[in-house]
Amino acid sequence: MMIYLMCLVLFSTGVYCILVKKNLIKIIIGIGIIEYAVNLFFILVGYRLRGRAPILAKEQVIQNMVDPLPQALVLTAIVIGLAATALIVAIAIRLYEKYGTFDITKIRRLKG
């Protein structure tokens, strides 16, 4: 139970970063923290009591293994997060080139 609450604390830290911080790079780090929190939660869903790693080698039986399906899904989700992070960092670098600053309160040309 405690460990799921830790995931929630991590998630709230990420949301706090996105909402409060003014530097573009800190907002990107906040998005990264949120993705870590959700991936961690997904893997923890698959835990079985006294389970071991779900690798089937020779002369071993399928007994007491944790659930391997969330591990495969989280691998995909990590790669998707990598692609999104690469794109958003590239856009942040271009924003610095055009506006001259990383401060999000000064990048406000679109309003209304």
Partner 1 sequence: MANRVTNSDKQGMTLIVKTITRLTVGLILLYGIYIVTHGHLSPGGGFAGGVIIALSFIHLMLAFGKDLALRKLSQGASSFFESLGAIMFLTIALLGFIGGYFFFNFFSKGKPFNLLSAGIIPLCNIAICLKVGAGLFAVFVALILLEVPIRKK
Partner 2 sequence: MILPLFVAIPLGSAFIVSLLGKKLRGFADSFSNLASFSLFSLSLFSLLLIRKFGTIVYKVGGWIPPIGICMVLDSLTSFMLVTINLVAFLVTIYSMGYMERYTAKWKFYTLFLLMLAGMNGVIVTGDMFNLFVFLEIAAISSYALVAFGVEQEELEASFKYMVMGSLASSFILLGIALLYSYTSSLNMADISHLLAQKGDSKIVFFVSVLFIMGFGLKAALVPFHAWLPDAHPSAPAPISAMLSGVLIKALGVYALARIFFNVLGMSSISSSILMVLGTISMVLGGLLALGQEDIKRLFAYSSISQIGYVVFGIGMGTTLGILAGLFHLFNHATFKSLLFLNSGSIEYATGTRDLRKMGGLSSRMPVTGYSSLVASMSISGIPPLSGFWSKLLIILAAIEAKHFIFASIAVLISILTLAYYLKVQRSAFFGELPDALRGIKEVPLAMKLSMLALSIICIFGGLLLIPGIQKNFLNLATEILMNGNSYAQIVFGSIK
| Contacts with partner 2, residue ranges (CB under 8 A) | 15, 18, 24, 27, 31, 34-35, 38, 41-42, 45, 69-70, 73, 76-77, 80, 83-84, 87-88, 91-92, 94-95, 98-99, 107-110, 112
What one-letter code names the amino acid at 8?
L
Q: How far is CA 101 from CA 20, 32, 34, 105, in A?
A: 18, 22, 25, 10
Q: Which is nearer to partner 1, 51 or 100 (CB)?
A: 100
In this structure, how many other beta carbons lie within 10 angstroms of the beta carbon of residue 89?
13
Task: Find the shortest distance in angstroms from Cβ 11 to partner 1.
Answer: 24
